[in-house]
Amino acid sequence: MSALAPDSQYIHTDKIEGVPYQLLADKVPTPFYAYSATQIKTDFAELKRILPQGIDYFYSLKANPNKTLVALLHQAGTGCEVCSLVELEIALRQGVAPGDIIFVGPGKHINELTQCCLAGIKAVVVESIEEMHLLNDIAAGLGVVQNIALRINPDFTGEKAKLVMSGKPRQFGIDEQLLPQAFAVLGKLVQLRLAGIHIYLGTRILDWQALANNTQNILALAATLQQDYGIDLDFVDVGGGFGVRYFDKEKALDLAALGEALLPVVNNYRQRFPRCKIVIELGRFLIARAGIFVTRVNYLKPSRDEWFAVCDGGANCHGSAAGINSLIRRNFPMARLGPPRRNNDQHRYQVTGPLCTPTDLLGENVLLAELRSGDLIGIGHSGAYGASASPVSFLSFGHPAEVLVENDQAFLIRAADSVDTLLAPQVYQCLSLAHG
Ligand SMILES: Cc1ncc(COP(=O)(O)O)c(C=O)c1O
């Protein structure tokens, strides 16, 4: 029933759950994202079933902040990891208890820290000594004690991460060498309570052994700190960075092997620190496989000896598929959607979007069933870092629509931007400046 077979390059080309793509495209303007509710639930249930029991999972809203999806994951049992005021508000308005929210990020604004204190969230993950001072002052002003977690930039790096976030000079976290200073300062900041340790090593890791080693290294460092400083923690957030397979040569993460490898690591730690919870924060792994990006072929044109399928949505709505932020762009799983035609021969296409740049390339030399203008193309594994991580304002196309499908029902969960919604914030207002 699911939209995409888990961890497969295969796309169901006719339907998402019980709903034909063509029916959705009749109701919603292309391009759009469609998500399978069943697959979101199944992917999370599988993860919980296979990894050691008793781990707390936090959904990283940066992967996809749509409030309906946040609510769905929260109902399935995740907390929320947020990084901005709006992400915090999304979580709170979707009924996530403040005690199930952590706020992470190296550049938190005073307003964000204030809202965290007012809501009384589970922890502000502090990333510098200066931030600790600022948060303490804010908490003092509000007359509250705020829980924090120290984000540490450890001496070790993450194994096999595509984006390395530690072990070198980074804006993230407090360097391991600075911890004695940080603990000394923290001892004097009476409005802050140390509730946790947070270490995030990197993302898009597909190697179970690397993930197990990373977790082992993090828990070992946490244990040393707990012992050396005599601290009693509520939780250690060991990050995550679990990858999903996008490209032909990638191998899906072996969850069963990861679960087996993590069990002794987690059990050893728990024997020593039974009260301390282990937290994993994940975005991509919880949402990527459930989403498909649907774009329509507007024009088919030959150029020299190649065929271009020029679509109505490209890098502006799906920057990840176009390789924005990647060193090398490779093709996401892609297929022509809809019932097969009599002649199902494969043809080679350059799949592009509507932007005036050659980098607006969704698929290079992709083999697809023969296309006609008006056809729908689906890009799989697109639930994470889609529109929200794309330059949706470029050429003023705006944010595409989003649809959630469950069985044979479909719900619009975000309307596409319109001319009016795009133009409304553009104003011409005199700023009353006080001179002299
Ligand atoms: C601190 C932190 N947490 C969570 C995430 C989510 O990562 P992913 O979507 O790969 O799980 C990121 C991504 O960069 C991150 O920096």
- The per-residue pLDDT for 326 is 82
The DSSP call for residue 288 is G
**Which ligand 1 atom minimizes the distance to the CA of 288?**
9
pLDDT band for position 436 (cuts 50, 70, 90):
low
- The per-residue pLDDT for 5 is 37
For CATH 2.40.37.10, the residue range(s) in the chain are: 289-423
**Which ligand 1 atom minimizes the distance to the CA of 243?**
10
Q: Chain-wide mean pLDDT for the chain?
A: 94
- The per-residue pLDDT for 343 is 84
**Strand ranges for 304-432 from DSSP E:** 306-311, 334-337, 346-352, 361-369, 376-379, 401-406, 409-414
Quick one: average pLDDT of 386-395? 95
- The per-residue pLDDT for 327 is 76
Q: Is the pLDDT of residue 1 over 90?
A: no
Q: Which CATH number fits domain 97-282: 3.30.930.10, 3.20.20.10, 3.40.50.970, 3.40.50.620?
A: 3.20.20.10
Q: Is the pLDDT of residue 7 over 80?
A: no
- The per-residue pLDDT for 3 is 39
Q: Per the CATH hierarchy, to which homologous superfamily does domain 289-423 belong?
A: Lyase, Ornithine Decarboxylase; Chain A, domain 1 (2.40.37.10)
Q: Is the pLDDT of residue 431 over 50?
A: yes
Question: Range with the lowest mean pLDDT among 144-158, 160-174, 275-289?
Answer: 160-174
User: How far is CA 12 from each of CA 74, 112, 132, 270, 364, rounded to the nearest angstrom?
Assistant: 27, 42, 49, 42, 21
Q: Is the pLDDT of residue 4 over 60?
A: no
pLDDT tens readout for residues 187-211: 999 999 999 999 999 999 999 999 9
Tokens of 218: 């993090």
As to burial, measured by CB atoms within 10 angstroms (0-12 exposed, 13-18 middle, 19+ buried), residue 334 is buried
151: left (phi over 0), alpha (psi -120 to 50) or beta: beta
Residue 244 CA to ligand 1 centre (angstroms)? 13
The residue whose CB lies within 8 Å of the most ligand 1 atoms, and thus the one to mutate among 70, 160, 172, 281, is 281
pLDDT band for position 8 (cuts 50, 70, 90):
very low
Q: Is the pLDDT of residue 6 over 50?
A: no
Dihedral sign for Cα 256, 262, 267, 270, please. Answer: negative
Helix (H) or strand (E) holding 174: strand 174-175
Which pTM does this prediction carry?
A: 0.95
**Which ligand 1 atom minimizes the distance to the CA of 281?**
4
CB 33 within 8 A of CB 291: yes
Helix (H) or strand (E) holding 93: helix 85-93
For CATH 3.20.20.10, the residue range(s) in the chain are: 97-282
DSSP codes, 289-324? GGEEEEEEEEEEEEETTEEEEEES-STTT-TTTTTT
pLDDT tens readout for residues 59-96: 999 999 999 999 999 999 999 999 999 999 999 999 99
Residue 367 CA to ligand 1 centre (angstroms)? 32
Question: Range with the lowest mean pLDDT among 158-162, 186-190, 355-359, 383-387?
Answer: 158-162
Residue 239 CA to ligand 1 centre (angstroms)? 8
Q: Is the pLDDT of residue 162 over 80?
A: no
Q: Is the pLDDT of residue 144 over 90?
A: yes
- The per-residue pLDDT for 161 is 67
Nearest one of 237, 193, 269, 236 to 60, comparing CA atoms:
237
Quick one: average pLDDT of 41-57? 98
Nearest one of 13, 6, 9, 3 to 369, comparing CA atoms:
13
Nearest one of 284, 119, 205 to 103, comparing CA atoms:
119
Quick one: average pLDDT of 407-411? 97
Residue 348 CA to ligand 1 centre (angstroms)? 35
The residue whose CB lies within 8 Å of the most ligand 1 atoms, and thus the one to mutate among 203, 207, 287, is 203
Taking each helix axis as running N to C, give the angle between helix 85-93 and helix 67-76, from 0 to 180 degrees, rounded to the nearest 10. Answer: 60
- The per-residue pLDDT for 123 is 98
- To which residue do tokens 């679990």 refer? 242
Tokens of 188: 């004097």
- The per-residue pLDDT for 9 is 52
Tokens of 302: 């030959």
Return d(Cα 399, Cα 381) in angstroms, integer: 19
Residue 284 CA to ligand 1 centre (angstroms)? 8
pLDDT tens readout for residues 246-274: 988 899 999 999 999 999 999 999 999 99
CB 127 within 8 A of CB 106: yes
Taking each helix axis as running N to C, give the angle between helix 37-50 and helix 67-76, from 0 to 180 degrees, rounded to the nearest 10. Answer: 40
- To which residue do tokens 């096999």 refer? 160
The residue whose CB lies within 8 Å of the most ligand 1 atoms, and thus the one to mutate among 61, 62, 78, is 62
Q: Residues enclosing ligand 1, CB less than 6 A?
A: 60, 62-63, 81, 104, 200, 203-204, 240-241, 281-285, 384
